[in-house]
Amino acid sequence: MAGMCDTCHAGCCRGYNLLITAFDALRISRDLSLPVGEFSTLLSFSAEQSKRFENSFTPIKLSDLGCSEKRYFLALRRIESKQFPGTVKCYFLNEWLREHDAPNREGHSGKRVIGRCSIYGSRPMMCRTYPTSLHNETPLGFISTPRPIDLADKHAIYQLCPEKWTAEALSTDPTTVLHNLAVNRFEMDFYNRSISEFNKGGHKVAEFFPFMARLYENRFRTVPSLISTPPVAVEKTE
């Protein structure tokens, strides 16, 4: 998105744990020739904690990561921000400081931090559709109000959009918005069915991407060396 995002520090690319599908991971890997294990992670939650994601994502069950009660979700890795040490950002977010007249909410007097996606053409479907959603019962799309990020009270860098989104502020053609939402819904359904198949087998984490690559092989010709490293498993407690 352009417009409001042009001058933004990209709070959305910092604070969210961005859950992705195998489609997103395999596409990024193919486009960048990057091993999937380098930029993806598995977040673990208890069965109780994972309920808040389960309307959208089927949890992954793994037989070898210790606790059989844990539920895992595929996500983009987050790494420490160079501009804001002690805070995190998406692995693919580029950031830099730009001279600016006024102090800003990140606390830089005379400078403004800018964030840009370094994989814009290959970014996950969730990033393409944000902050829009598809209505549950009709093919209509709408602009949703982004849920404040849990970390926003810890650091201003995690705050979201400076203004409320309007249809005019979205630079994207409305047809493209609906197209992305419909594709996202298809991919989510396909991925959730793929996870259900995976879960039946009592698989180990190292089998995750090879299993997914077989299910997506009509669309992605993957190189074995790019899918042999499993995502890093990260314990989540919040």
Q: How far is the CB of 182 from ligand SF4 (least distance, A)?
A: 19
Stretch that binds ligand SF4, among 9-17, 96-104, 135-143, 173-181 (CB under 6 A): 9-17
Q: How far is the CB of 3 from ligand SF4 (least distance, A)?
A: 8
Residue appearing with tokens 């790019």: 226
Which residues 6+ apart lie within 8 Å of 196 measured at CB? 58
Question: Which tokens hold the place of 99?
Answer: 């001279």
* Residue of 161, 178, 182, 183 that binds ligand SF4 (CB under 6 A): 161
Q: How far is the CB of 206 from ligand SF4 (least distance, A)?
A: 25
Question: Which tokens hold the place of 68?
Answer: 């059989």
User: Residues 29-68: x/- map of binding to ligand SF4 (CB under 6 A)?
Assistant: ----------------------------------------
Distances (CA, A) of 34 to 37, 53, 126: 8, 27, 20
Q: How far is the CB of 113 from ligand SF4 (least distance, A)?
A: 11
Residue 4 or residue 183: which is nearer to ligand SF4 going by CB? 4
Which residues, 90 to 149, sit near ligand SF4 by CB under 6 A? 90, 92-93, 117, 119, 123-124, 127
Residue 65 or residue 143: which is nearer to ligand SF4 going by CB? 143
User: Residues 162-201: x/- map of binding to ligand SF4 (CB under 6 A)?
Assistant: ----------------------------------------
* CA–CA gap between residue 49 and residue 70 (Å, rounded): 10
* CA–CA gap between residue 146 and residue 4 (Å, rounded): 14
Residue 187 or residue 203: which is nearer to ligand SF4 going by CB? 187
DSSP 8-state assignment for residue 218:
T
Is there binding between residue 5 and ligand SF4 (CB under 6 A)?
A: yes
Distances (CA, A) of 37 to 22, 40, 78, 147: 12, 5, 13, 28
Is there binding between residue 10 and ligand SF4 (CB under 6 A)?
A: yes
Distances (CA, A) of 193 to 42, 186, 187: 18, 11, 10
Helix (H) or strand (E) holding 114: strand 111-117
